[in-house]
Structure 1
Amino acid sequence: MSRANHMTVIPFGGLGNRLRVLNSAFFLSRDIGADVELVWFVKPELNSELGDMFAATGFEYFPMSRWKRALLKPFLKHIYIQKYESTYRRFLRLFYDQVYFDNDLTVRSPSQLRAEIAQHGRVLIATCYQFYDFENFDNLVVQPQLRQRIDALTARFDRNTVGVHIRRTDHTALIKASPVELFTDRMKQLEGEDPDVKFFLATDDASLKTALREQFGQRLITQDIPLSRATAEGMQGAVVDIYALSQTKKIICTTRSSFAQMAALIGAEKEIIEVC
């Protein structure tokens, strides 16, 4: 059997989406003996380079050259690929032996995908979905300055601290399916069961932080910085939130969010309290 020797990987979406694509590629490359070329676009939905957030990934890869990435950035947009998939596929097959987009990956099992890709020398994968199995995100190492912030924040935690993740500002379907009351009802329930309970709130909505602080008072722990995807500061704050969530033993969330999924897969096993 011939082996794939080169996979070009383009992760789309926000931080959780991109990192599950990245880990899928890393663990697949390990199993088939391929190298990984990473195309990491800095865009409004994630305005930060990978290296500004993570000091190491635990796997070897090489970034696409800056000039080539700059040429591709206006052209390779997720929304365009979804709309004109066949056109993109025909063009990209001029440069790659096989091309995989969202629809290709969702209909293939990891074993099917592994067998297929192992037959090709040059493969392009452009998606926002996990496409290969991995156990956790423990291979990722955050930058030291972010680790300091995580440690300072979680020093306020104790064994009674419960994580809460509520995404609000940019995911209309998720907001509609999971109103805030679903989260606060679970928080009140835990408050009634445990008089010492605390909550760490991770959210991208500043007004929600204020409202829940008024409701839960000193029980509520949160970061007091904007968490906009459109700024490098906001993305670094998002990394701090994910890793702080990962150090709680319970997380109230919807697992439809890749942010919460990632937090659940860092460190020790956690109880997930699903709201919808």
Structure 2
Amino acid sequence: MTDTKPANADQREFWNDIKGELWVELQPRIDPMLGPLLGGKAIEALELIPGERVLEIGCGNGTTTLAMAERVGTEGEILAVDLSRPMLNKAAERGKASGYPVKFLEADAQVYDFPNEHFDAGFSRFGVMFFDDPVAAFSNILSAIRRGGRVAYVCWADREDNPWIRIPAGASKAYLELPPPPADDEPGMFSMKDEERVRSILTSAGWSDITLERFDMECSLGEDVVDAARFISQMGPMSEPFALSDEETQYNTLKVIEESLAPYSSSKGVFMGYSTWIVAATRP
């Protein structure tokens, strides 16, 4: 008998057993970093109106869910799905306090049986780069969107254009053994970096009128290099090796990260560049 893991099993384990609770704790830091300019830019691309029904993929702690709920109002509907129970619990808590008609569900958007052609729009903020089979995932999302409906999401552009993670991760290699980066067609933070690949995935999944808009900006990583280094050491490929290393290694790693961030530090804080794609498409 073949032992076949369910779709995205590694991601489910990662966001429940390894990173879920941490991202709940980091929410007050992550939201301003990813915040209204990044997630909000993709939300704007949807041009939501009151009363619409929205499917959100990878809702995390619910920040973008509530932002969209304000746009669709009490007559609208939002179903927000994620693999992480800890983050969904936090999102549900925030949703209940908001009073908006939002529902949070632990589900894998690649395979979950959504109601057919039920939603007006789909949305994701950095939640679509880790599918085992992105064509299957976007096909499944397509089936949940009404004809003429649309999808919009934000994803990371090329790693070279994202010094906020490239530079400190590179510096950390002096003391940490980082995992090898995934291949371009494997699930990963930068798996949607290539415009041609994005178009191919969405076209194969049945979407049309595909647009990609480059959106670059600078965001704050912290008040100073010490604050920023402690924060960024919990992100990206260095997070797990850092967490598992001994106290001396962690100390030395933080010091080299601080040095790498020094050129980007001023009295206003540590600011570094981010580069993303705002992707939009329509269901024919």
Q: Which has the larger radius of gyration?
A: 1
What is the TM-score of this pair, normalised by structure 1?
0.33
The structure richer in strand per residue is 2
Higher relative contact order (CA 8 A, sep 6+): 1
What is the TM-score of this pair, normalised by structure 2?
0.32
